[in-house]
Structure 1
């Protein structure tokens, strides 16, 4: 196929969402299935069943499009990732989508489609550029975007799709409730929470770190570890930390202790400004130590906090 123009505006891809008849591939799929042997059909059926039970990233072809995209979209949204080997932006976007699909725990499915090997699907969607990402719900496209996007922006896009479809597609809420129950029952988290209730911060931190050692991408454990470390520092904070820091502006440890005290006192902006100022005044290991502490401090706040966004920009200016 002719390679799509990568400059195609995302709005054009979004415009076609909802205007595509996905049943156009159904007859083709049926005919292909009839030509397959019974043994092959059984194997494919087993694979589809396994995917439905535990894998939320599937490779889709014309012959599996009906079952993996159209039919599955009757239960949860299916996010179609249209990509090709020669597409460099695809190599950035696809891994981000896969991480988010795993994070979603089955509340949506990622369907990866190689447009070079499945040109009829690309034609069906009227795709003009890749990567193009299309959310299918209830058998129809509902949202779309084109081009590589930051992971945070993709997460917001997926959240908006789930919010719009939660009352229409029963599988979304079921998957979310199941994921919530699993987290509550995870004995590793229970052990960490028990240690925290006892005031044993060291053991709680160790428990969360063990989870991260086994699952480096476990965001819940990472956020909890950050909170535990900060809580311990805040409870043991020197009440004169801010005063001492004012008297020793070149002491990075004093500035870090003062920033912790300020966050504990809800003076968040003052803490960020203090550490960014220290980054500007220091160098080498001292500077890196303050930078790392500030980045860890950012993790105490929810994604999208404007104070964090502003501080990140200021930190970047201070570093470069």
Structure 2
């Protein structure tokens, strides 16, 4: 990635001190998961000389981010200060988004001694996250970055921070299933949650995301692309490649492929394609400009 990411303009920015956040010195951090900003990123680069820093570029509207970020946080905390996770809201920090050339999110990049190292783009299962983190620690060790952050576990009053409220039982059941790769069980749990409350937005989003993960884990990228190229009007073949594109963060490619297919099919064969597009729109979020653009094109094709 050298040359693809330009962080030079962010290296020497003065950071406003704020204990417990990315702006604080490494010795004052109270957590291994911090929020990074355009202004504080110079400090993050310095910390990357002590431990590898994982940068998670996300946004509130990004559905796959909500699937991936908790996994990254969990794996980071398990490493006990050997890695710092810096979360970057790309909407609030446009200079960082531009510096990392974040054309799609979630995008995860590591920093070792100030140098960017690619990790992954798009939602990936926990096992793959763990494998990539293990490789990251090996690369860091090869470059002499083997420190540990002295992170405290209590707040300024000396008390433990407030715990997050527990997940509803069926949501917790779904998360537990996802963590062990049992996507079928997670789908069942989310479907039960929706049967109890059809307006449960978290269950709707979770169900869409885990269905996507379940579909893509069964696919071979090269075989799927070859099948789609050989049969451009085969809906399932195009669905497979669109799923892989979306899971890999190539949102516009996924939408464009299905919209092109929709435009070419006879009217009596279009319904499954429209339904799949609507499902994928829900994963990304209605406010995302890529969804807005794709919806507009879909509407024009419908009418």
TM-score when normalising by structure 2 = 0.45
Choose between structure 1 and 2 for higher RCO, CA contacts under 8 A separated by at least 6 residues. Answer: 2
Q: Which has the larger radius of gyration?
A: 1
TM-score when normalising by structure 1 = 0.43
Structure holding more helix per residue: 1
